[in-house]
Amino acid sequence: MTACAKTYLLMLTVLLPAVNLYAGERPTGWGTTFSGKATGVYAVIDRGESASYFSILLDLRGTIAGKARNPGIKTLYNIEYCFRRWNLADGAVARFFAGPGLSIGYVSDTDDYRKGYMAALYGNMGLRFSFASNVAIKLYLSGEFGFHMDMKNSYDTSMSIYKAGLKDILYPEISITYRF
């Protein structure tokens, strides 16, 4: 991946939330997400039946298992659309959602956990439980399809499919959002 492409992708994930801001939308909440594959924080623009998320995540591949020393880092912009909605007791609402996104980062995808640049299309689906007390809990699965650049050294780099994004789809993820 050329420096130009990296810059373009980085700008894209930063620019997409900037477009939301320019359109007059402001974050309606913030939250934290956790799973065996990534953890981090995000800002959310929640429109009820759809929501946009901008996340900064630590990629934990190999780290929690003790095989890699340092986590990778990635940014993610994604949109979720509500397809089904159920009203629950105490004013709580459950929603089934799914949606696409774009992620880029500096993460590992090799057996020796060497880091390299990654860019991928992202998709997720799951259930979001919104409570009357300004908290929402989200349980979901996510996957990424894209490319990873394995950088052995500055002269020896290779690009391949980002395998972890597909292999780790079945890792359950949970996030907590606090609405302003």
Q: Give the nearer residue to other proteins in terms of CB position, either 105 or 146.
A: 105
Between 9 and 164, name the residue whose CB sits nearer to other proteins: 164
Least gap, CB of 163 to other proteins (angstroms): 21
CB-CB contact of 61 with 74 (8 Å) = no
Nearer to other proteins, 46 or 79 (CB): 46
Which residues lie below 8 Å from residue 92, measured CB to CB, with a gap of 6+? 129, 130, 131, 132
Confirm if 157 and 147 have CB atoms less than 8 A apart.
Answer: no
Letter string b/e over residues 9-25, b meaning 16 or more CB atoms within 10 A of that residue's CB: beeebeebbeebeeeee
CA distance 69 to 57: 16
Contacting residues toward other proteins, per CB under 8 A: 32, 34, 36, 39, 58, 60, 63-66, 69-71, 89-92, 131-133, 135, 137, 174, 176
Nearer CB in complex with other proteins: 110/130: 130
57's CB contacts (< 8 A; 6+ apart) are 33, 38, 39, 40, 73, 74, 75, 76, 105
Shortest distance (Å) from residue 171 CB to other proteins: 12
Q: Give min distance, CB of 34 to other proteins, in A.
A: 6
Contacts of 22 (CB under 8 A, 6+ apart): none
